[in-house]
Amino acid sequence: MTIGNISKDVRRQPSQHACVLLGYLPTAKLECFSGGRRSVERYRLFHYCMTQILQLLVVCGKEGVLMMCPDGLVRCVFPILAAYVADFPEQCLVACCKESRCPKCMVTRDQRGESTRSSAHVQRQTMKSLKKYENGEISKEEFDGNLGLRAVYKLFWASLPHCDIFMCITPDILHQLHKGVFKDHLVSWCSQIIGEDALDARFRAMTSYSGLRHFKKGISSRKQWTGSDHKELERVFLGVVAGLLDEHAVIAVRGILDFTYYAQYQSHTEATLKKMDTALRSFHRHKAIFVDLGVRNDFNIPKIHSMLHYTASICLFGSTDGFNTELPERLHIDFAKKAYRSSNKRDYTHQMTTWLHQQDAIYLKESFLTWYRDNRHSDDTVARDTDHCNLDGLSDSLDNSDCKAPVIVKCIRINIPLQWWRNPTKKDLSRPTEEQPNGNYLVLLCLPQNEDIIYRRVVLCPDYPSHRFKNSTAPPSY
């Protein structure tokens, strides 16, 4: 899990520890169910477990909870589920739909290859349909055929505030574009038309150029493809097929490649989004050639359909590199593989959590030491801050703690990492009673290392949404 407040550049670096492991979901065989029931029961178990994990967010998303922020202010935070990054089977699991359907919209099975947009799933409507099916008001044919839902009645997202799960499902460039549309479909269609040997011969015939990968054995013999292999192939593929394919097919290939490249932009404007749509339209206009050449009968492929949702998603949540599945795949190594290997492989989950705790503890200590080294010269700011505080007990407690834990006293001005912090409760906020007329509060900090209590003035500050314009220094007031 991570939070969207952190910039995506930081979020995607595994070394920054901006993603936290939230839980290990059970992988049960469910042998107590008969074969046909097992898959739907697995869906139900997943939703039950997610409900257990997320139940605290229901209240906090409505009421808000006070939290310390890195700028030293306490804010009232409303945690809301905004995006769910997953691959396609998992998206269907979350959206509770059949895998022959789209987890985001109501498109029917045989329309998925078209470029027409269907109306989006509506959370309330879906829940109503499920309820009706549970009470037996909808026939099984209608439920399976027209709605394409799974019979899961207790959904983890049903009670989450401000959350529309169908909107939360984000594009997945790695699986949908690089691996799915490009490699699994487009490349295999082209190699069927051209023939594997002819295509390999073209790859071999290419001259090597610095920065471009030379596929000297061709591509047909390669079994394992990684994300970066796909990207390297995309760079040369249009040049390889040009001249070998029909003119329309080349335009279709170019449409897909253009779309893939636009989709990876780290920053979009309305103009680039329009170009993305144009590229997709040019693929759809020319795709019929693959049917004419006999390599495809239809285009009812979920990955090709999913491209329709990219631009809307970017407008809602920002560019796609913030939701790349490459990061969770990378973290899977740290959180699951490395942790498992360090256990003795028996009752391993407990050992894995202990191992993760120890790794976290070392990271926290290390980052605290780095941070302390960088900030220890700011003694004058500490003094200025304590001047502001007019609570009588403050100077005493500062003096006392100074001899015991000078480190902590010095860092109090700027920030204290969470572990030196007890999060303020509402009770804490009311206890010092000295509410300032301008909305300042005094908050009690408890330092568990030496149990000293230090008072500190914090400001509950409002953040206003803003419009930001390029080249203008002062943002216009909101």
Partner 1 sequence: MSFKSKHTFMKAIDSLPRSAEWSLKMVEVEGNILGTDGKPLTEEVELWMRNPLDCICELLANPNFADAISYEPQKVFDDEAGRERRFDEMWTGDWWWEVQVSQLKSKGRAAYTCESIGSLAAWCRDRTSHTGF
By CB under 8 A, the residues from 79 to 108 that bind partner 1 are 79-86, 90
Segment 189-218, which members bind partner 1 (CB under 8 A)?
Answer: none
Beta carbon nearer to partner 1, 300 or 319: 319
CA separation for the pair 410, 329 (Å, rounded): 39
CA separation for the pair 26, 20 (Å, rounded): 18
Segment 21-80, which members bind partner 1 (CB under 8 A)?
Answer: 21-34, 37, 41, 45, 48-49, 52-54, 56-57, 60, 64-65, 67-71, 75-80
β 440-446/453-459 pair status: antiparallel
Identify the CA nearest to 95 among candidates 125, 67, 73: 125
Identify the CA nearest to 55 among candidates 213, 161, 150, 151: 161
Residue with tokens 């390029």: 470
> 294-323 mask for partner 1 (x: CB under 8 A)?
--------------------xxxxxx--xx
- 151, 40 in Cβ contact below 8 A? yes
Segment 220-249, which members bind partner 1 (CB under 8 A)?
Answer: 224-227
Decide: is 262 part of the binding site for partner 1 (CB under 8 A). Answer: no
Distances (CA, A) of 336 to 23, 323, 358: 11, 20, 15
- Please give the size of the binding site for partner 1, defined by CB under 8 A: 127
Decide: is 18 part of the binding site for partner 1 (CB under 8 A). Answer: yes
Identify the CA nearest to 380 among candidates 415, 413, 407: 413
The β-bridge partners of 442 are 457
Beta carbon nearer to partner 1, 153 or 298: 153
Single-letter residue type at 263: A
Region from 144-152, 240-248, 387-395, 413-421 binding partner 1, contact rule CB under 8 A: 413-421
Beta carbon nearer to partner 1, 174 or 253: 174
Beta carbon nearer to partner 1, 4 or 113: 4
Beta carbon nearer to partner 1, 143 or 421: 421
Beta carbon nearer to partner 1, 48 or 142: 48
Give 271's DSSP letter.
Answer: H
CA separation for the pair 5, 392 (Å, rounded): 36
CA separation for the pair 222, 77 (Å, rounded): 50
Candidates 119, 208, 269, 344; binder of partner 1 (CB under 8 A) is 269
- 289, 248 in Cβ contact below 8 A? yes
β 65-68/74-77 pair status: antiparallel
Candidates 116, 119, 207, 466; binder of partner 1 (CB under 8 A) is 466
Candidates 101, 112, 185, 268; binder of partner 1 (CB under 8 A) is 268
Beta carbon nearer to partner 1, 77 or 127: 77
Structural tokens at position 182 = 């490009």
> 132-171 mask for partner 1 (x: CB under 8 A)?
------------------------------x----x----
CA separation for the pair 139, 151 (Å, rounded): 12
Compute the least distance from the CB of residue 298 to partner 1, in Å. 28
Segment 329-368, which members bind partner 1 (CB under 8 A)?
Answer: 329, 331-333, 335-337, 349-350, 353, 357-358, 360-362, 364-365, 367
Identify the CA nearest to 156 among candidates 303, 323, 33, 22: 22
Region from 6-14, 108-116, 203-211, 276-284 binding partner 1, contact rule CB under 8 A: 6-14
Beta carbon nearer to partner 1, 56 or 383: 56
